[in-house]
Amino acid sequence: MKFSAVVVAAGEGLRAGPGDPKAWRRLGGRPILRWSVEGLLSAGAEQVVVVVAADRLAQVEGALAGLAGWTAVAGGSTRAASVQAGLAALTAADDNAVLIHDAARPFVARAHVERLLAALERADGAIPATPVPDTLKRGDGVVTATVSRDGLWRAQTPQAFRHDRLKAAYRTWPAGEEPTDDASVLERAGGAVALVAGDPMLLKLTYPEDFLMAEQLAGGQRIVRMGQGVDAHRFGPGDAVWLCGVLIPHDHGLIGHSDADCGLHALTDAILGAVGDGDIGEHFPPTDERWKGASSDRFLKHAADRVAARGGRIVNVDVTLVCERPRIRPHRDAMRARIAAILEIPVERVSVKATTTEGMGFTGRQEGLLAQAVATVETPA
């Protein structure tokens, strides 16, 4: 069955403690909003409408960079108003399925969606739910009653509906009354809502401790990858060389189409290699006049952005410069600081080293300079 989805991310999430609203906080290095949207797209959603606060619309592109098949709209003052704004933005046929999902449930997966769509074949709506496992008490400071948990379920999202049935049900909902979920809207309108097996992985991030638990769960869905880069440039006329983003006085320059910064070129290749994204020559061809004399920090920033677009993060980098001269040690801290600033990572995750070849080879003869780099990157599995 074809389906579209509405991801609701317009709330402030005040119970989560200080900081950004829940959907914009990071989980495993990427925004929680991205987890939810990516999960639904991977499950086969033809369209995902992301509903956010009006003042957050400009941030959605960055949070979902590299993903296709989504649009964003401004939400309303209530969750129900936001859901209706998302429904209005859908372009799918009215009789198609639509899933309504809270962005704060980041671990939605294909299996959840398949169970919902199967149930929708025999009902107007379907929700994932888990049995209530705990003893329930009623009271205010002291217990006044023990409540039977027989037949009680904890509703989760995504919740699935026939698009036209849900829109019609919302039109009959009493003004000024806020539903607790979308299934209750359909229930009041007389629609049949099926229960399907829920999943503890569909937990909703509400309180600060929920985010700590989610980080542990997210770790199992990410992998560590490594990439290696090598670059060399010949010495030529000049009075300084660029190395790892730092200009160093020298009795020669380095010859290259750009600024010939071997260190940043090797590191750019290492980062691109870690995510299987080609090499620096593919992204910045030396035949392209736009890059003549270009500062190599632009290349390195581009590689870092490519990692972020995949929902990844750079864990650490290590650069080794091979040359007899110039001396690297006096400039090493400045190099580390510059690389850290470009990559937006702590300086303690950046290593810059230097060695010689004891007079052997082209570096030993001081004909040129060689750089090697290794990058460790964490990305979604």
Cβ neighbours, 10 Å, residue 80: 19
The predicted structure's pLDDT at residue 16: 46
Tokens for 241, please give them: 């060389």
Q: What is the 8-class DSSP label of residue 143?
A: E
| Residues 195, 74: Cα–Cα separation, whole Å | 30
Q: What does residue 370 show for φ and ψ, rounded to 5 degrees? A: -120, 145
The predicted structure's pLDDT at residue 347: 94
| Residues 193, 167: Cα–Cα separation, whole Å | 15
Query: Which parts of 189-331 fold into alpha helices (H)?
Result: 208-219, 262-274, 280-283, 297-309
Going by pLDDT thresholds of 50, 70 and 90, the confidence category of residue 208 is confident
DSSP character string of 40-62:
HHHTT-S-EEEEE-GGGHHHHHH
The predicted structure's pLDDT at residue 207: 79
Going by pLDDT thresholds of 50, 70 and 90, the confidence category of residue 18 is low
For the cut 80, the answer to whether the pLDDT of residue 14 exceeds it is: no
| Lowest mean pLDDT, pick from 15-24, 75-84, 102-111 | 15-24
The pLDDT tens digits of the residues spanning 357-374 come to: 999 999 999 999 999 999
Tokens for 214, please give them: 């989610």
Contact partners, residue 20, CB within 8 Å, separation at least 6:
none
| Three-class SS state of 262 | helix
The predicted structure's pLDDT at residue 308: 81
Q: Which of 65-69, 309-313, 366-370 has the highest mean pLDDT?
A: 366-370
- Average pLDDT rounded to a whole number, residues 92-107: 91
The predicted structure's pLDDT at residue 321: 97
**Could you give the domains of the chain?**
3-219 (3.90.550.10), 223-380 (3.30.1330.50)
The pLDDT tens digits of the residues spanning 176-197 come to: 899 999 999 999 999 999 999 9
Considering the chain, what is the average pLDDT of its residues? 91
Partnered with residue 314 across adjacent β-strands are 377
Cβ neighbours, 10 Å, residue 349: 16
Cβ neighbours, 10 Å, residue 207: 13
Cβ neighbours, 10 Å, residue 17: 12
Q: What percent of the chain has pLDDT over 90?
A: 77
The answer to whether 272 touches 307, Cβ cutoff 8 Å, is no
Q: How far are the Cα atoms of 23, 213, 264 from residue 17, in angstroms, in the given order?
A: 13, 15, 40
The pLDDT tens digits of the residues spanning 128-157 come to: 999 999 999 999 999 999 999 999 999 999
The predicted structure's pLDDT at residue 217: 76
| Residues 200, 217: Cα–Cα separation, whole Å | 11
The answer to whether 324 touches 363, Cβ cutoff 8 Å, is yes
The answer to whether 187 touches 127, Cβ cutoff 8 Å, is no
Instruction: Tell me the CB-side half-sphere exposure of residue 181, using CA atoms within 13 A.
Output: 21
Tokens for 40, please give them: 């639904």
The pLDDT tens digits of the residues spanning 249-298 come to: 999 999 999 999 999 999 999 999 999 999 999 999 988 889 999 999 99
> Which amino acid makes up residue 285?
P
The predicted structure's pLDDT at residue 313: 84
Cβ neighbours, 10 Å, residue 182: 30
The predicted structure's pLDDT at residue 327: 94
User: Which residue has better confidence, 312 or 13?
Assistant: 312
The answer to whether 109 touches 201, Cβ cutoff 8 Å, is yes
